[in-house]
Amino acid sequence: MTRVLIVEDDPKTAKEIMAALSDHGFAVDSAGTGREGVLKAAAESYDAIVLDRMLPGGLDGLGMLATLRSAGIETPVLILSALSGVDERVRGLRAGGDDYLTKPFDFLELTARLDVLLRRRSSAPQRETMLRVGALEMDLLTHTVSHAGKPVELLPREFRLLECLMRHAGQVVTRTMLFEEVWNYHYVEPTNVIDVHIGKLRRKLDPDGSRPIIETVRGAGYILRAAG
């Protein structure tokens, strides 16, 4: 079972995060201070750490992260912060964070991003030339896609959109994640425009609507399922 450590000083927020992560199927531990967080992270092995930036006591989030990294603990860390500035985000990632999420956030966004972190860790990046999800095949060299043996014509951006969904097949990919990965801009509210792109992609993959493979997760994003 995937084990996640939550370092968060506000007990109510910690409780909500723990509840959301257990519902998602993770085993969750929590720590209230940076010091406690370092001790727990060093003593036991976690698959991921969710870290609040603002922590009471001498050791704040970034300080704790630096301590962990200097001690050689490379557990993926997702930073939570009320500070939304881009420079804050850059500082967090530079300090050794693997992802950065601004409060307030949707729990679906949190779990989706954690899934990505965990996946990234378990499967070392390999040079794939073919992606396969169910009947869907994508050739990364020739930039061709076929569904159930039939070729699908995609525009370059649609290709990258589908590639992103296929790489995270079976996981929720939020709109923000899609936007950041496919368009390479950091932008908070691209929501309904992404839906239109997905809609177009859906129609191309499944013109008669008989075999829907991209599911919408309400209020959060999309998931590509390996349907028959």
Partner 1 sequence: MRLADLRRTTSFRLAVLFLLLFGVATTLLCSFIFMQTRNYLDRRAEEVLREELFPFRGLNAAELHQLLAAHVAMDPHARRPITLFGPDGAYLAGSQLGSSHFQIMAEPADRPFAFTLQRDGQSVQFRGVALTYPGGQRLLVAQDMAGAQAFRGLLLDSTLWGGLATVVLGLIGAVAAGVGAVRHIDRITRAVRGIVRGDLSGRLPTRGHVRELDQLAHEINFMLGEIERLMEEVKGVCDNVAHDLRTPLTRLLAGLERARRRAASVDEYEAAVDEAMQEIRGLLKTFAAMLRIAEVESGARRAGFTAVDLTQVGADVVEFYEPMAEQKGVALGISDGASVPMQGDPSLLFEALSNLVDNALKFTPSGGRIDVRVFSDDGGQGFEVSDTGPGIPAEQRDAVQRRFYRAEQSRHTPGSGLGLALVSGVAGLHDMRVRIEDAKPGCRIALVGPRGLQG
Residue ranges in contact with partner 1 by CB under 8 A: 84-87, 90, 104, 106, 157, 183, 185-190, 192-193, 196-197, 199-200, 218-219
Smallest distance, partner 1 to C-beta of residue 57, A: 27
Identify whether the C-beta of residue 21 lies closer than 8 Å to the C-beta of residue 4.
yes
Smallest distance, partner 1 to C-beta of residue 106, A: 8
- Tokens 């020739």 appear where? 142
Q: Across the chain, how many H-helices and E-strands are there?
A: 8, 12
Identify whether the C-beta of residue 59 lies closer than 8 Å to the C-beta of residue 35.
yes
Smallest distance, partner 1 to C-beta of residue 183, A: 7
Nearer to partner 1, 19 or 71 (CB): 19
Smallest distance, partner 1 to C-beta of residue 104, A: 6
Nearer to partner 1, 212 or 219 (CB): 219
Smallest distance, partner 1 to C-beta of residue 198, A: 9
Smallest distance, partner 1 to C-beta of residue 81, A: 13
Tokens found for residue 76: 């993926």
Nearer to partner 1, 70 or 192 (CB): 192
Identify whether the C-beta of residue 191 lies closer than 8 Å to the C-beta of residue 175.
yes
- How many C-beta atoms lie closer than 10 Å to residue 147's C-beta? 20
Short-list 46, 113, 106, 108, CA closest to 79:
113
Nearer to partner 1, 29 or 88 (CB): 88
Nearer to partner 1, 41 or 178 (CB): 178
Short-list 174, 178, 183, 163, CA closest to 221:
174
Nearer to partner 1, 105 or 135 (CB): 105
Short-list 23, 25, 47, CA closest to 122:
47
- Tokens 């007990």 appear where? 11
